[in-house]
Structure 1
Amino acid sequence: MIQIGDVVVSFDVLREKFLCDLDACQGICCIEGDAGAPVELDEVEKLEEVLPLIWDELSPEARTVIEEQGVVYTDCEGDLVTSIVNNKDCVFTCYDDKGCCYCAIEKAYREGRTNFYKPISCHLYPIRVGNYGLYKAVNYHRWDVCKAAMLLGQKENLPVYKFLKEPLIRKFGEDWYAELELVVEEMKKQGIL
């Protein structure tokens, strides 16, 4: 592990390769799992603000869940997460005509309808950030549904931290990311990576 400021980064984030392969996985990370995506407290208001912009794109089942319990709930571990439909789909998932899952919030962002990209935990995946009082831990989450992304990342030789440059900067800032790159380069020179 390395530490930059109050953030501890696992070596796996630096060593492992990853590149989403949406054609292969069809966006299954937004569907599978035992809970919704982790949400930060300040993101709840943003999710509620974007809701009218994407409401018509959501499934009838998702709209019912949102009307009954809201955009988020507290899961069995006590974490705030996006609401889900039938213990499966995130309420913000939509499908294209080929059956590929996508995020309605991200689609609205890309179309210029909102300045909120999507929850940072979604943007950062397969990184998960843990908060431990005085520091944050940045870890690589391995999930078998992302096997195609691991293979494509190996083929393209793209480390997780480079694949996730944009969301890492969004979360921790440009200066933090620049320092991460410097540390990685130094570790490569020393043969650690």
Structure 2
Amino acid sequence: MIQIEDTLVSLEVLDRYFLCDLSKCKGMCCVEGDSGAPLEDSELAKLREVLPLIWNDLSPKAREVINKQGVAYIDEEGDTVTSIVDGEDCVFTCYDADGNCKCAIEKAYREGKTDFPKPISCHLYPIRVTQYRDFKAVNYHRWSVCKVAEILGKKERLPVYEFLKEPLIRKFGEAWYKALEKCGEEWKSQMEE
């Protein structure tokens, strides 16, 4: 573990490799799992705000779920998470012509319709951040769905923290990321010795 400000960062964030390979995984991280994506309290208003912009990209079933229970619910662990359709798809998923599952929020963001890229837990994946009383734990999360991303990341020699530069800066700030980058460079030089 390394400490940066009020975070403890797992060394796996520095030494594991990751690069999404959508052509192989088909976006299953937005479909598989026990519940929806974890949400920060401040994100609920953003999800409601972006909803009219993405409504037509959502499936009829997703719209039905949102009309009945809203954009989020409290899961079995007591966390606020995105609503899901039939125990699978996040309500914010949409599919492209190749059958790849994508995020309708991210699509709207890339089209310049909103300044909200997507929930931070989605943006940061495969990193999970857990808030404790005195610190935040920043951990790499392994999931069989993302095995192809680990393989491609290793082939391209792209560490997790470099793959997630934009969302890490979004979550923790530029100075924090620069400190992480420095740790990553030091870690890499130690591994090469």
Same-fold call, TM cutoff 0.5: yes
* Per-residue CA distance 1:2-60 (angstroms, 9 max, x = gap): 00000110011111100000011110100001100001000000000000001111011
Q: 3-state DSSP class of the match of 1:178?
A: helix
Which residue matches 2:159?
159
Which residue is equivalent to 2:118?
118
- Distance in 2 between the 1:20 and 1:188 partners? 22
Superposed, 1:25-104 pairs within 5 Å as 25-104=25-104
Q: Distance in 2 between matches of 1:35 and 1:168?
A: 23
Structure 1 residue 190: deviation in Å? 4.1
User: Kindly tell me: are residues 161 and 103 of structure 1, through their superposed partners in 2, closer, same or farther at Cα, counting changes over 3 Å?
Assistant: same
1:104-148 residue CA offsets vs partner (Å, 9 max, x unmatched): 000000000111000000000000000001100000000001111
SS of the residue aligned with 1:94?
Answer: strand
Q: CA–CA distance in 2 between the matches of 1:114 and 1:188?
A: 37
Provide the residue aligned with 1:176 in structure 2: 176
Partner Cα distance (2:19, 2:139) in 1: 16
* 2:13 corresponds to: 13
Aligned-pair CA distance for 1:78? 0.6
**Are the structure 2 counterparts of residues 188 and 151 from structure 1 closer, same or farther at C-alpha, using a change threshold of 3 Å?**
closer
Please give the secondary structure, in 1, of the residue aligned with 2:137: strand
The runs of at least 4 aligned residues of structure 1 exceeding 3 Å deviation read 187-193
* Structure 1, unaligned runs of 5 or more: none
Alpha-carbon separation, structure 2, partners of 1:48 and 1:56? 14
- CA-based RMSD of the aligned residues comes to 1.2
Query: TM-score normalised to the size of structure 2?
Result: 0.97
1:183 maps to a residue whose letter is C
How many matched pairs? 193
Percent pairwise identity: 67
- Deviation string, structure 1 residues 46-82 (Cα, Å, up to 9, x no partner): 0000000011110110001001111000100011100
Residue type of the partner of 1:50? Answer: V
- SS class of match (1:134): coil
Distance, in Å, in 2 between the alignment partners of 1:75 and 1:61 is: 20
1:179 maps to a residue whose letter is: A
User: Could you say if the C-alpha distance between residues 71 and 192 of structure 1 is closer, same or farther in structure 2, counting changes exceeding 3 Å?
Assistant: farther
* Distance in 1 of aligned mates of 2:192 and 2:184: 9
